[in-house]
Amino acid sequence: MHTVQAIADLRAQIADWRRAGERVALIPTMGNLHAGHLRLVEHARELAARTVASIFVNPTQFGPNEDFAGYPRTLDDDRRQLESVGLDLLFAPAVAAIYPRPLEDMTQVLVPGLSQMLCGTSRPIHFRGVATVVTKLFNLVQPDVAVFGEKDWQQLVVIRRMAADLDLPVEIVGVPTVREADGLAMSSRNRYLTPEERRNAPTLYATLTACAERLRAGERDCAALAADARTRLTAAGFRPDYFEIRRADDLQPPAAEDRELRVLAAAWLGRARLIDNVPVTLGRSPGAR
Ligand code: PAF
């Protein structure tokens, strides 16, 4: 595995592969890798002859009071892990390479609507930062396919919309969330949990799956289901940011005929803001044609 920091080196390596007619997959990350990220690389290797991962803690997707400075940076360990799953190229640029001028002076990418709901309500600049950096990474690598984790379901929907709206010639692939044995979604931010909070943290996934089961069993009052779930999370010591049932593909409130839903939540536990979601596919209602 090769590591490059400079954009020119990245482009030179990718140009070689392109000349050889090889398909390229990109796995964008912010590092501090865990088994969930490695699954993305393994999946990418099935989709393309060459795999490129990026590690870049993107300052523009963190709000002023968020954890940009303290976000775990573990490049040496990340490199070892990526090598072990057969990645070809790691791109680990400095901030100045991606943002040579202050962001206020640079072109930014905003996906309206989708960026302002759910996580975007409490993190108003987050998805603009994500969309901007992912657009830049797509332009730098020009991948045939890019792979993202479904744990950040809203991010995946935002990126799909952005790629469609801007006619970016890249296929966006989502990979199901990798979980710990007790159900907690793997996340770099799980390390902020104290041992006691860590024991409690799987309640988030348990609450999401309980809500999904009630939907599958025929309950349709989404507002009541979400309110119950928020009460359960609060009783368990979480501070829920949101708990919502939405249409999977565009995150709008579901209509009676919608079948592909997603139950999504974000909740604080101590100083960790945990996010998670589960899919729900509803059967046809009796009598529906
Ligand atoms: O999901 C992440 O790790 C980040 O939001 C991403 C997509 C790498 C953009 O910085």
Q: What is the pLDDT of residues 231-267, one digit of tens each?
A: 999 999 999 999 999 999 999 999 999 999 999 999 9
Domain ranges (residues) in the chain: 2-175, 188-280
CA of 181 to the centre of ligand 1 (A): 24
CB atoms within 10 A of CB 120: 19
Catalytic residue among 2, 34, 37, 126: 37
CA of 130 to the centre of ligand 1 (A): 6
Distance CA 231, CA 239 (A): 10
CA of 33 to the centre of ligand 1 (A): 12
Residue 103's pLDDT is: 85
Q: What is the mean pLDDT of residues 139-145?
A: 98
Supply 202's token pair.
Answer: 């799987």
User: Contact, 192 vs 271, CB < 8 A?
Assistant: yes
Residue identifier of the C-alpha nearest atom 1 of ligand 1: 29
* Residues whose beta carbon lies within 6 Å of some atom of ligand 1: 28-30, 58, 61, 130, 133-134, 152, 155
Q: What is the mean pLDDT of residues 31-46?
A: 98
For residue 278, pLDDT beyond 60: yes
Find residue 247's DSSP bridge partners.
Answer: 261
For residue 289, pLDDT beyond 60: no
Residue 288's pLDDT is: 47
**Model pTM greater than 0.95?**
yes
Residue identifier of the C-alpha nearest atom 6 of ligand 1: 29
- Return the H-helix or E-strand segment holding 95: helix 95-98
The atom number, within ligand 1, closest to the CA of 134 reads: 9
For residue 133, pLDDT beyond 50: yes
CB atoms within 10 A of CB 138: 21
Residue 255's pLDDT is: 97
For residue 284, name the pLDDT band (cuts at 50, 70, 90): confident
To the query of whether residue 126 is one of the catalytic residues in this protein, the response is no
Share of the chain above pLDDT 70, in %: 98
CATH superfamily for 2-175 is HUPs (3.40.50.620)
For residue 160, pLDDT beyond 90: yes
Helix count and strand count (H, E) for the chain: 10, 9
Residue 285's pLDDT is: 60
- CATH of the domain spanning 188-280: 3.30.1300.10
Q: What is the mean pLDDT of residues 98-111?
A: 95
CB atoms within 10 A of CB 190: 17
CA of 287 to the centre of ligand 1 (A): 44
Residue 32's pLDDT is: 97
For residue 287, name the pLDDT band (cuts at 50, 70, 90): very low
Q: What is the mean pLDDT of residues 189-215?
A: 98
